[in-house]
Structure 1
Amino acid sequence: MNTRHTIRALVAGTALSLSGFAAHAQDTKVSFVLDWAWQAMHGPFLIALDKGYYEDEGLDVTIDRGFGSGDTISKVASGAYDIGFAEGTGLFKFNTDNPEERVIQVMVINDQSPTGVISMADAGISEPGDLIGKKISATQNEATVLTWPVVAKLHDLDPEGVEFLFVEPNLRDAMVLQGQANATFGFATTTVLNMVGTGLDLDEIGYTTFAEWGLKPYSSGILIKASYAEEHPEVVKGFVKATMKGLIEMLEDPEEGLALLKKREPLVDAEVEAARWELAKELSIVTPDVIENGISEVDPERFATAARQIAEAYGITLTPESENYFDPSFLPPLEDRRVPDAAK
């Protein structure tokens, strides 16, 4: 190649490189906050980030750990973060108290909440009536304590029939392990794996969810301030599309997501997180409704019923229709939201 051709090739290559740099520089920056410290549930986001699915949608996404769903909702509402991943039932009270800062859910990942009752397997707790006369370790004013009367009412039980032992969150599990409480209320995907981490086998632990007992609100997912969604619809749509791809791949084969989790947070126990993912799939993500209808396919009647139940628990008045809290318009087509056969 002569000198003139060499210069032309270099100029062309530089132009292409600059073009790519310019396109990347124009990506919209999106700040994303999780519900808690890094866990297996966050694998889909890491897959979408690592494989460039967010970048493919023109998004430059940064992800930070969270400090509880309530905190995440507040941070999204204030504009401290653009998008959050959190428990959707928290929106009922938040939006009632803060109508001008309304936050909506645009993608449901946990079709059912893993919140419920965790005990030793030999405690014999499998039905709501089994709790009557039992001691329950719990944290005062936590969602599970507030919703217990609703569960009790569904089964014609006296909610005062249990004795709550109110302690700090970090002591709840220990009270069950030490025999001071018969059971505890909490996220099974957290508490069960905490117990496994102490050396127990999974079959030594009993757990059931409030969803199995009839309280079936849609649970954790992607939350966005309503005004942000109105102002940046393409950003929201792209984020949801990329996240859905990451979730589908995590359901097909969780190994990649778990490896990325370990890389992001080296202190996590890989075996515990693998078990946590399987439990989350069982209790929350791959439910019969999701297998039949697709991921994030919200039934308005189920939503309204659960909203009224939650409103009763919190003593608030709200408009329970799903459109006040959930907007499905940002979701990809249903064919892109089907559960892969490998996950069923």
Structure 2
Amino acid sequence: MSLSRLSRLALGCAALALTPVAAHAQEKTDVKFVLDWAWQAMHGPFLIALDKGYYADEGLDVTIDRGFGSGDTISKVASGAYDIGFAEGTGLLKFNSENPDDSVVTVMVINDQSPTGVISLKDNGVSGPADLPGKKISATQNAATVLAWPVFAGLNDLDPESIEYVFVEPNLRDAMVIQGRADATFGFTTTTVLNMVQAGIDRDDVTYFTLAQYGLQPYSSGLLVKKSFAEENPDVVKGFVAATVKGLQEMLEDPAEGLALLKEREPLVDIDLEGDRWELAKELSILTPNVAERGISNVDQDRFETSAGQIAKAFGMEIEPAMADYYDGSFLPPLEDRQISDAVKATMK
């Protein structure tokens, strides 16, 4: 056999030997991820991580579906219909107490503070808690804010009975204020403020404050997983969290890319409106002084357990929440990867 033929044969055998290894290296783990609601600016970091291949770099093949409310997202993650969810973490207090065998935990906090607050119009004179007594508030029966109001009132030396509720369906709360049938409404500022602008109200005529600005400071939305899934798939969770941190850092640096990807995913969104929504969410919930100083998802146990205890009390739950039952930071990348750059800090209001 000639030398050249032997060389070709050797190369062919080497290629055959390497092929299974290469194929194995390219295999990725499927991950089903569900959001908290319909596509909005808040979801830009996930789209950046997906588009730039950050999830793929972690060996993950991620599909993202819209959500139908944080409670629904938590239930879907707990049932195994989805592997990971993005949702409001305070909902875990009630869910885990009622479903101990299907407990869900937050593995990354994205909204360091809740955007839940009181939204009104300038002419109504509601700019802080002290302006609420005697006012009519449009709200939804048994909504989280309604349940938390007595606790919030106590923190601000207000009589919980000093406001009058006008209970309506969620889609009517904002309209009640616009029509003058209520003085203010309880809701997510990042949703209601922009809803009012969409309805024709000048942005400067909309006033708001959050419950977090006046003492009620639970950690808010983040990445949630079922405890058993995290135990069985730690590398999947770590990889997903690390990739999301990268996407969030880039969205904070420059939201234009995330907003463009949002428009591609959901052509009906108003890109200018979503840009305003992102800036409001960044200001009130994501890029807080705590995050600027301590980094993304650097959770303080005392703050967590104090605020969780306040929420549990509001929900009528006789428990003393322990952070370990609802939050697990062991899947986060190193702190240096979660620190906020000086350039981003300079954009803070």
> One fold, TM greater than 0.5?
yes
Which aligned pairs between 1:80-119 and structure 2 lie closer than 5 A?
80-119=81-120
> Displacement, 1:343?
2.5
- Distance (Å, rounded) in 2 between the aligned partners of 1:248 and 1:111: 14
In 2 relative to 1, CA 20–181 (structure 1 residues): closer, same or farther, beyond 3 Å? farther
Is the contact between residue 92 and residue 311 of structure 1 (CA under 8 Å) also seen in structure 2? yes
Q: How does 1:205-284 map to 2 (within 5 A)?
A: 205-284=206-285
Do residues 303 (structure 1) and 310 (structure 2) align? no
Cα distance in 2 for residues equivalent to 1:187 and 1:248: 23
Q: For residue 312 of structure 1, what is the aligned residue in structure 2?
A: 313
Give the Cα–Cα distance (whole angstroms) in 2 for the partners of residues 288 and 175 of structure 1: 34
The residue correspondences of 1:41-190 to structure 2 (distance < 5 A) are 41-190=42-191
Q: Does residue 39 of structure 1 match 2:40?
A: yes
Between the aligned partners of 1:122 and 1:212, the Cα distance in structure 2 is 22
Shift of 1:19: 6.0
**AA matched with 2:85:** G
List structure 1 segments (4+ residues) > 4 angstroms apart after TM superposition. Answer: 3-22
> Are the equivalent residues in 2 in contact too, given 1:92–1:318 (CA < 8 A)?
no
Residue type matched to 1:88 in 2? G
* Contact 1:119–1:205 (8 Å) recurs in 2: yes
Give unpaired runs (5+ residues) of structure 2.
Answer: none
Q: Does structure 2 conserve the Cα–Cα contact (< 8 Å) formed by 1:304 and 1:321?
A: yes
1:36-82 CA distances to partner (integer Å, 9 max, x unpaired)? 00000000000000000000000111000000000000000111100
Distance 1:292 1:328 in 2: 18
Q: Please say if 1:200 is aligned against 2:201.
A: yes
Letter aligned with residue 207 of structure 2: G
Where does structure 1 lack aligned partners over 5 or more consecutive residues?
Answer: none
Task: Summarize deviations over 1:114-147 as a string: whole Å, max 9, x none.
Answer: 0000000222212212111000011100001100
Query: Structure 2 CA distance, aligned partners of 1:209 and 1:17?
Result: 57
Distance 1:6 1:261, change over 3 A: farther
- TM-superposed deviation, 1:9: 9.4
Partners of 1:144 and 1:7 in 2: CA distance: 73
Q: Which residue number in structure 2 is paired with residue 23 of structure 1? A: 25
Q: CA deviation at 1:6?
A: 10
Q: Distance in 2 between matches of 1:91 and 1:63?
A: 22
Asked if the contact 1:136/1:185 (under 8 Å) is kept, the reply is yes
Aligned residue identity for 2:303: R
Structure 2 distance, partners of 1:46, 1:146, is: 34
Per-residue Cα deviation, 1:236-259 (whole angstroms, up to 9, x for no partner)? 000000000000000000000000
Distance 1:219 1:340 in 2: 22
Structure 2 distance, partners of 1:154, 1:217, is: 14
Distance between the aligned counterparts of 2:58 and 2:281, measured in 1?
28
Matching residue's letter, 2:280: L
Q: Quick one: percent identity of the two aligned structures?
A: 70
Q: How many aligned positions are there?
A: 341
Q: Which amino acid aligns with 2:226?
A: K
d(CA) in 1 for partners of 2:248 and 2:19?
32
Which letter maps to 1:139? Answer: T
The amino acid of 1:76's aligned partner reads V
Q: What is the TM-score when the length of structure 2 is the normalising length?
A: 0.93
In structure 2, the CA distance between the partners of 1:8 and 1:39, relative to structure 1 (3 Å rule), is farther
Structure 1 residues 278 and 9, CA gap change in structure 2 (3 angstroms): farther
Shift in alpha-carbon separation, 1:7–1:225, aligned structure 2, 3 A = same
* 3-state secondary structure, aligned to 2:119: strand
AA matched with 1:43:
G
2:25 counterpart letter in structure 1: A
Q: 2: distance between equivalents of 1:181 and 1:116?
A: 15
Q: CA RMSD in A?
A: 2.0
Q: Quick one: structure 1 residues 14 and 44, their matched pair in 2 at CA, closer, same or farther if it must change by over 3 Å?
A: farther
* Partner amino acid, structure 1, of 2:103: R
* CA positional deviation for 1:322: 1.1
Deviation at 1:99, TM superposition (A): 1.0
> How many angstroms does 1:100 deviate by?
1.1
Are the equivalent residues in 2 in contact too, given 1:244–1:337 (CA < 8 A)?
Answer: yes
Q: TM-score, normalised by structure 1?
A: 0.94
Amino acid of the structure 2 residue aligned with 1:23: A
Q: Which residue of 2 aligns with 1:286?
A: 287
Deviation at 1:196, TM superposition (A): 1.2
Say which SS state the counterpart of residue 32 (structure 2) adopts.
strand
Within 1, Cα distance between the matches of 2:12 and 2:51?
30
